[in-house]
Copies of this chain bind each other. A is one copy, B any other.
Amino acid sequence: MSALDEGHFNAELENGVKLNRLDLGIQDQPETVAIEDAVKVLLQGLGEDINREGLKKTPLRVAKALREGSKGYKQRVKEIVQGALFPEVGLDDAVGQAGGAGGLVIVRDLDLFSYCESCLLPFQVKCQIGYVPSGQRVVGLSKLSRVADVFAKRLQDPQRLADEICSALHHGVMPAGVAVVLQCLHIQFPNIESLFLDSNHQGWVKAVVHSGSGVFENELADVWGDFLSLLKFRGIKLDRTQMKDSVQQCWCPSRYSSSAKVIGPPNRGMVTAVTSILSSLGEDPLRKELVGTPSRFVKWLMNFQSPNLEMKLNGVACGRMDPLKQNGEEQIHTELCLSFWSQCEHHLLPFYGVVHIGYYCAEETTPLSKSLLQSIVHFYGFKLQVQERLTRQIAETVSSLLGGDVMVVVEANHTCMISRGIEKFGSSTATIAVLGRFSTDPAARAMFLKNIPNPASGGS
């Protein structure tokens, strides 16, 4: 992590409650050290060697990311908004409403991320904010984004996040009303037991929530209609007549997952470690929404203890096929868009996407079945991983079944690219491994690569 991140953090301290620690870098602060110790317990619980190269700095990385992701606890909305309220003359009330005096102001498509209070995984948020100014003053547009971020950078639930943003803006800006609509996306890993059965697994849980104050308090108010009209192309399905009745049960997939059977009850030491992380972030682990969070997180994390899955794969990956002859009769077979789910070993955060596999295979030979290839992908995915290694391991395994010429492309989205300081929403990664003739024949590579479909037309 760069020098910048530390400073970013010091900033909050400077303006927050812990002035006496200004002289300590983030990595020397007791909260950071406590989280690091807890992460070491988790890694050991996974059966990992905490001294292997890729993991050595993982506890510190995780601690910094979690503290960065929960910095909203220390931020004050008043400080953000004050100094950004500008007088704007409006219109006579009898005449109409316009900028500064009643005309609706909207900021659309703010990308945020937050941490799910139920399972500690980050979730993505598209945030839409509207407000109707009053008192002949408007707030600087960027402050709407900053205030939303204060509440996103906490452990959250979508509805509470919307309510808190709405309420804070209402009290900070004192307008005629505030409306907030959030579209939230929570990653949903497949159950490890049903991994090879459920090929239509939906990778995401979606939630659309809203909150309104003042003139937006009544969901049937016409001003909601104006607001939603200007969001209409954002894929937001909010029927105003139903808005009031929407029942919110907890959206987090960890709440209704039934994957605990095989893995058994969570390791108590790991649960205690996660509980201590919650305290270090400034949360109360006894808050009712957080009571089950440590065991849910541990249960989820244990999916990446590799021995669990290794046994499964042994049952699936049947016999080794005969090596194919290297002659003119061979042709390139492809299996595109096999989904994978994995866990970045540098940040203990999910990365996920698709794997494309190409290989040469003689015409008379039966190609490898899709389910076998999918098994190989899952086998190497459900571990603490890095994308480069995942790509190589899949290529080597497929090659060991075929004896030769294999090309693998992995396209992925990394949660760690959005949920830490760099916040590069929309970025993606691709890695390539080439074995045998694919490494020497650019035409073969090009033929395979041109079959890879547009990622924008599929996936999330």
Contact of B388 with A146 in the complex, beta carbons under 8 Å: no
Residues in A385-414 with C-beta less than 8 Å from chain B: 386-392, 395-396, 406, 408-409, 411, 414
Bound CA–CA A194/B5 (angstroms) = 47
Q: With A103-B432, A225-B442, A409-B230 as given contacts, are A427 and B95 in contact (CB-CB < 8 Å)?
A: no
> What 0/1 pattern do residues 419 to 434 of A give for CB contact below 8 A with B?
0101111111111111
Residue from the set A80, A103, A346 with the largest chain B CB neighbour count within 10 Å: A103
Contact of A108 with B10 in the complex, beta carbons under 8 Å: no
Q: Which of A29-37, A83-91, A279-287, A326-334 has 4 or more CB atoms under 8 Å from chain B?
A: A83-91
> What 0/1 pattern do residues 438 to 460 of A give for CB contact below 8 A with B?
11001001100110101110000
Closest to A231 in B: B430
Contact of B96 with A436 in the complex, beta carbons under 8 Å: yes
Bound CA–CA A145/B4 (angstroms) = 13
A interface SS class: mixed
**A362 interfacial by beta-carbon distance below 8 Å:** no
- What's the nearest-Cβ distance from chain B to residue A443, in Å? 9
**A3 interfacial by beta-carbon distance below 8 Å:** yes
- What's the nearest-Cβ distance from chain B to residue A111, in Å? 7
Residues in A1-37 with C-beta less than 8 Å from chain B: 1-15
| Chain B residues with CB below 8 A from A90, complex form | 392
Bound CA–CA A364/B97 (angstroms) = 28
| Chain B residues with CB below 8 A from A103, complex form | 388, 391-392, 431-434
- What's the nearest-Cβ distance from chain B to residue A65, in Å? 11
Contact of A446 with B225 in the complex, beta carbons under 8 Å: yes
Contact of B425 with A425 in the complex, beta carbons under 8 Å: yes
Contact of A146 with B422 in the complex, beta carbons under 8 Å: yes
| Chain B residues with CB below 8 A from A450, complex form | 229
Bound CA–CA A110/B145 (angstroms) = 20
Contact of B10 with A11 in the complex, beta carbons under 8 Å: yes
Bound CA–CA A282/B141 (angstroms) = 30
| Chain B residues with CB below 8 A from A392, complex form | 88, 90-91, 98-101, 103
| Chain B residues with CB below 8 A from A390, complex form | 99
**A163 interfacial by beta-carbon distance below 8 Å:** no
| Chain B residues with CB below 8 A from A6, complex form | 11, 14-15
Contact of A111 with B7 in the complex, beta carbons under 8 Å: no
Q: Which of B4, B54, B80, B434 contacts A2 (CB 8 A)?
A: B80
> What 0/1 pattern do residues 100 to 143 of A give for CB contact below 8 A with B?
11011111111100000000000000000000010000101110
Contact of A430 with B230 in the complex, beta carbons under 8 Å: yes
Bound CA–CA A103/B438 (angstroms) = 11
**A338 interfacial by beta-carbon distance below 8 Å:** no
Q: With A3-B11, A10-B7, A392-B90 as given contacts, are A434 and B97 in contact (CB-CB < 8 Å)?
A: yes
Q: Which of B2, B141, B391, B445 contacts A387 (CB 8 A)?
A: B141
- What's the nearest-Cβ distance from chain B to residue A187, in Å? 18
Contact of B428 with A87 in the complex, beta carbons under 8 Å: no
**A79 interfacial by beta-carbon distance below 8 Å:** yes
Q: With A141-B414, A145-B422 as given contacts, are A430 and B106 in contact (CB-CB < 8 Å)?
A: yes
**A50 interfacial by beta-carbon distance below 8 Å:** no
**A222 interfacial by beta-carbon distance below 8 Å:** yes
**A416 interfacial by beta-carbon distance below 8 Å:** yes
| Chain B residues with CB below 8 A from A431, complex form | 99, 103-106
**A170 interfacial by beta-carbon distance below 8 Å:** no
Q: Which of B111, B233, B433 contacts A424 (CB 8 A)?
A: B111
9 extra interface residue pairs, beta carbon distance < 8 Å, beyond A96-B439, A98-B395, A425-B425:
A7-B7, A86-B386, A88-B389, A99-B389, A99-B390, A105-B387, A226-B442, A229-B449, A229-B450
A-B contact pairs, 23 of them (CB 8 A): A3-B11, A3-B15, A3-B80, A4-B15, A7-B9, A11-B11, A53-B87, A54-B87, A88-B388, A91-B392, A96-B434, A97-B433, A98-B435, A99-B392, A106-B429, A107-B428, A108-B430, A111-B427, A133-B388, A141-B387, A141-B414, A145-B424, A226-B432
- The 4 nearest A-B residue pairs measured at CB: A7-B11, A99-B388, A98-B433, A3-B15
